[in-house]
Structure 1
Amino acid sequence: MATALPSALIADDLVKTYRAGRGKTPVRALDGLSFDAEAGTVFGLLGPNGAGKSTTIKILSSLARADSGRAFVAGIDVGKHPARVRRAIGFVAQKSVADPMDTGVENLVLAGRLQGLSARGAHARASELLDRFGLTEHAKRQVKGYSGGMARKLDVAIGLMHHPEVLFLDEPTTGLDPEARAELWAEIERMTKHENMTVLLTTHYLEEADRLASRLAIVDHGTVVAGGTPEELKNDLRGDAVIVELTADGDPFAALAALQRVDQLREVGGDGRTLRARSDNGAATLPLALAALEAASVTVASATVARPSLDDVYLRHTGRTLTKAQENFAVENAS
């Protein structure tokens, strides 16, 4: 029987509430959030903006204190020994920490010196990381002239200067083009495979979580609603996803009623003009679903059958898709 790896990260019943200003209801960012991550793996926190992912990283990295609960990083109690935790981790925040007026090498050397490296050691490590991330020819350019992908690589390199045991990546690829995102994914995979580094990744990108995370915790409203490997979570749904897109004049209510009458479908739900259901045999059930919609005079723009995805997992456990949750967050914070 395989021996379980030691836990590099433990969050135990974390609770965090923020004041929201005079006359406003306090915001419960974390509501009993718990998980543990094995050493040398990528552990993903998947959820929309506002789910509590960034608050979790802030608590684990000692940048914020939980109202209650306990957290351990690399075996260190965060509440009791925050300075030791900060020496053990690298932290790549959503916003860049690099000084845009300094060069790439200057940013790296400064980060190394702040972490206790000698001048010679900082320059040697900076040279190593610049080469590793393909930034050597840009080392003496001011960071303000870097592309988005180059700047993000530099941020990760800064987090790695002192050889941390655990690396926190908070939404690391937000805003990157597909090529830059793929390059950063490859580097994250290399870190865990060849350096035995533990990575805590927060993301709202389904493909990113599916590809990189050895295990996932799906976070919603400050708590973990499901956890496991991506494959375990998807296989737990059983069967195929049947997805129907209605035309602009299609009636979602009539469509829902029609699909609910198809015996071979279960978990029928809708999100605007997009309807979803599950079936043990999607290919055989899809014609029955389309016939039911036609009988109800509902016009269909497209219909597909797919194996379960992490979006289906999110829908199962929260009642909405991750895309819809992102949209809701944007609307709520724009008003």
Structure 2
Amino acid sequence: MGYLNDVIEADELRRTYAGGFEAVAGVSFSVPRGELFALLGTNGAGKTSTVELLEGLAKPSGGSVRVLGHDPYRERLAVRPRVGVMLQEGGFPSELTVAETVRMCAGCTSGARPTAEALELVGLGKRASVRVKQLSGGEKRRLDLALALLGRPEVLFLDEPTTGLDAEGRRDTWELVRTLRDEGTTVVLTTHYLEEAETLADRLAIMHQGRIVTSGTPAEVTAARPARIRFLLPEGIEAARLPLSLRAGTSDGDERRVLILTHHLQRDLGELLHWAEESHVELGQLDARSASLEEAFLDIAAQSAETAVAETAGAR
């Protein structure tokens, strides 16, 4: 913590709601300038509550947070002009056109981009004269993003930015976010699309029950999980004929369908293919892949759920 290039610093950050529910339970992390940091977690994990503290929308119940060297809640006048925020759901006057909506917000934004430039950035240039109420859900998300980018922010908070977008729109948004990051914008992203985090994030953290349970680059987070090799053996060929070193895997209830879990994907796949060639065995539906962020996420969620059940049972 405290490095000069860290534009976001959270130290033992806590947020407790009325009734004593602690949504954020001592979270610490930092984000260097020009990094895209993804905050992931199951519903209710504390992601949005954490990001709202970073954005200065609420006061921490404990710990501290700094954005661009300032407390975003107490010193919001120093922080807000340098930050862009895209909330999960924006609210626009439905009778205004897209261009009128941008111009209205630009009037409250220091050094705002020209309206046409902001709309072209997010692919809404041809929809400038359309009333907001006529936009699709995905187009409204694009408009949310355009408003977040109006002030050319140094720090950009994106809360579920591609919800409602089709595949093409999602890819276009990814490309825009990459470009902003490459130009030096620091980005904090929350998303339910794990492929999005795996594709975009330089580093990420996974939250559960208000705490960060793991963090690192996407590769570091997935490295501890085994890769898998799946295939279908021909009729009459039993899994017992596989080399002994490859029998540690399990089948999916069908002796012909083999699943091998391994931390040495290249070595074991090479051994399997060599055995198949030497034994004149054709492996059907062969699929070999490294662990994905989705698998790591689901594994962490399952482990956390098991721990919670065990703690509940022990308290009885």
Judge same fold: TM > 0.5, yes or no. yes
Contact 1:47–1:219, Cα closer than 8 Å, also in 2: yes
CA distance in 2 between counterparts of 1:43 and 1:10 reads 12
**SS of 1:80 mapped into structure 2:** coil
Whether contact under 8 Å (1:43, 1:214) holds in the other structure is yes
Q: Contact conserved, 1:264 with 1:280, CA < 8 A, in 2?
A: no
Equivalent-residue separation in structure 2 for 1:113 and 1:225 (angstroms): 42
Alignment of 1:161-240 (within 5 A): 161-194=150-183, 196-234=184-222, 236-237=223-224, 239-240=226-227
Corresponding position of 1:137: 126
> One-letter code of the match for 2:114?
R
Query: Which runs of 5 or more residues in structure 2 are unaligned?
Result: 232-244, 253-258, 273-284, 307-316
Is the aligned partner of 1:152 residue 2:141? yes
Asked if structure 2 preserves the Cα contact closer than 8 Å seen for 1:279 and 1:285, the reply is no
Deviation of residue 200 (structure 1)?
A: 0.5
Aligned to 1:309: 292
Q: Could you list the runs of 5+ residues in structure 1 that have no partner in the other structure?
A: 21-25, 245-261, 287-301, 326-335
* Cα drift, residue 280 of structure 1: 3.7
- Deviation readout 1:8-56 (Å, 9 max, x if unpaired): 1111111112235xxxxx3221111111111112111011221111111
Q: Is the 8 A contact 2:42 2:301 kept in 1?
A: no
Map Cα deviations across residues 151-208 of structure 1 (whole Å, 9 max, x no partner). 21111110111121111000111222212111111111111113x1111000121100
Give matches, 1:74-113, under 5 Å. 74-113=68-107
Amino acid across the alignment from 1:105: A
2:122–2:145 Cα contact (<8 Å) kept: no
**Counterparts of 1:28 and 1:231 in 2: how far apart (Å)?**
30
RMSD over aligned CA atoms reads 3.1
Deviation at 1:211, TM superposition (A): 0.6
Paired with 2:29 and 2:4, the residues of 1 have a C-alpha distance of 15
Deviation at 1:94, TM superposition (A): 0.5
Q: Judging changes above 3 Å, is the alpha-carbon distance between structure 1 residues 99 and 238 closer, same or farther for their aligned structure 2 residues?
A: same
- Structure 1 residues 156 and 13, CA, compared in 2 at 3 Å: closer, same or farther? same
> Following TM superposition, by how much is the alpha carbon of 1:239 offset from its aligned partner in structure 2, in angstroms?
4.2
Identity %: 36
Are the counterparts in 2 of residues 217 and 224 from structure 1 also a CA contact under 8 Å? Answer: yes
Deviation at 1:62, TM superposition (A): 0.9
Task: Show CA shifts across 1:122-156 (max 9, x none).
Answer: 5x621211222232221121111122332211111
- TM-score, normalising length: structure 2: 0.75
Call closer, same or farther: CA 1:133–1:47 in 2, change over 3 Å: same
SS of residue in 1 equivalent to 2:164: coil
Question: Which residue matches 1:292?
Answer: none
d(CA) in 2 for partners of 1:311 and 1:193?
A: 26
Q: How far apart, CA to CA, are the structure 1 residues paired with 2:230 and 2:209? A: 26
TM-score computed with the length of structure 1 as normaliser: 0.71
Q: Secondary structure of 1:36's match?
A: strand
Is residue 9 of structure 2 the alignment partner of residue 10 of structure 1? yes
Distance 1:103 1:223, change over 3 A: same
